[in-house]
Amino acid sequence: MKSKMFEMRFKILIAMLFVSFGSNAFDGRALVLMPEGEAFNSVFNGLNDDIGEEVEFIALNLEEATAESIQQEVQATDADALVLLGNSAIRKYKEYQALDDQYVPAIATASLYLDSDIEGMNDITGIRYEIPLVTSAVSYRALSESPVTKIGVIHREWMSQNIEENRAYCDQEGIELVSYVLPNESSRMQSNIRKGLRKLIAQGVDMIWVVNDNALVTPQTIQSSWTTIVGRHKLPVIVGIEALAESKLNMGTFAVVPDHYELGVQLADMVGTALDEDWDVSDIKIEEPLSIIKVLNTRISKKRGHTFSKEKLGSVGRVIEK
């Protein structure tokens, strides 16, 4: 009798242990506010693959989210933090902060100009998306047989501080950054860009850097300004988004961009640090992307008279040949 009772208790104990170890006992929970898109999905996959056994991630549709719905989801799920992917996600988080003084902290990435986007906000940190120009310039210089000594850039006034930071980095590598400044608002943006390019070319730049700015890079400005002038003068062009190096645009020849999956892994490390600090992100500094991918369009480069040895192309993550 005692033997059967012991056996029964043993089986119950084993069953309880099985349920305990088989269940998802997360250490924390985070809502992920993200838009649709392959790049964002890749960031999410890197994040979830790395730390998904410790933190439960619940994806929220960015297009349907409002400050009120974010507040409701935080309360309903008892979320500890928000992960923000993209500029629009940051803007909606800002609205949520203004709505609820009991808001949860956030970690952001995959957004352009993160520092300026979160300026004035509290309890938020993240990983920048832009790769400093000097990284792209030095990488291209290592690939190319042509010199890279003077780079031209057109930018609006609001980017002046960012340009000066990049200028200082370029100076350290013996590269001069020459800028042409446009007003923040203008009804003549296309003609202003053409004028700026002509001014930069007259100063002897041997490369153009196109900054990530939706006001400067539109279907209209690409067709009527950028491709027309840089193509005529056969200049290599550094772009900050991989899509701008595609052959159909006939624009960018080289890009250095974050590896999106590895960006998610890096984000997971930051989430882990926040978890260890009981979700206090105040001492977690903004980081640069650690893993990058070099993208070279050899089709456009050849059209502009720039060639590269096959040995050097081995260091390029993606070579666009068609």
101-155 residue pLDDT tens: 999 999 999 999 999 999 999 999 999 999 999 999 999 999 987 789 999 999 9
Q: Which two tokens stand for residue 255?
A: 């890009």
pLDDT at 20 over 80: no
| CATH number assigned to the domain covering 10-129+260-276 | 3.40.50.2300
pLDDT in tens, 7-19: 545 444 444 444 4
Whole-angstrom distance, CA of residue 301 vs CA of residue 202: 21
Looking at residue 226, the DSSP 8-state letter turns out to be: I
The pLDDT of 280-298, averaged and rounded, is 96
Whole-angstrom distance, CA of residue 117 vs CA of residue 90: 7
Closest residue by Cα to residue 207 from 130, 129, 154? 154
The pLDDT of 175-197, averaged and rounded, is 95
**CA distances in angstroms from 274 to 83, 151, 219, 229, listed in the order given:** 11, 40, 41, 48
Are 10-129+260-276 and 133-258+292-320 equal in CATH topology? yes
Whether the Cβ atoms of residue 254 and residue 236 lie closer than 8 Å to each other:
yes
% of the chain with per-residue pLDDT over 90: 85
Q: Please tell me the predicted confidence (pLDDT) of residue 311.
A: 86
Whole-angstrom distance, CA of residue 306 vs CA of residue 297: 10
Whole-angstrom distance, CA of residue 41 vs CA of residue 152: 34
Domain borders along the chain are 10-129+260-276, 133-258+292-320
The pLDDT of 260-281, averaged and rounded, is 98
Instruction: Give the torsion sign (CA, 166, 168, 171, 177).
Output: positive
The architecture (CATH level 2) of 133-258+292-320 comes to: 3-Layer(aba) Sandwich (3.40)
Whether the Cβ atoms of residue 252 and residue 239 lie closer than 8 Å to each other:
yes
Whether the Cβ atoms of residue 58 and residue 29 lie closer than 8 Å to each other:
yes
pLDDT at 80 over 90: yes
Sole residue written with tokens 């008279």: 305
pLDDT in tens, 188-204: 999 999 999 999 999 99
Instruction: Give the torsion sign (CA, 39, 44, 49, 51).
Output: positive
% of the chain with per-residue pLDDT over 70: 93
**CA distances in angstroms from 216 to 25, 95, 97, 181, 224, listed in the order given:** 48, 27, 31, 12, 12
Q: E-strand spans in 39-91?
A: 55-61, 81-85
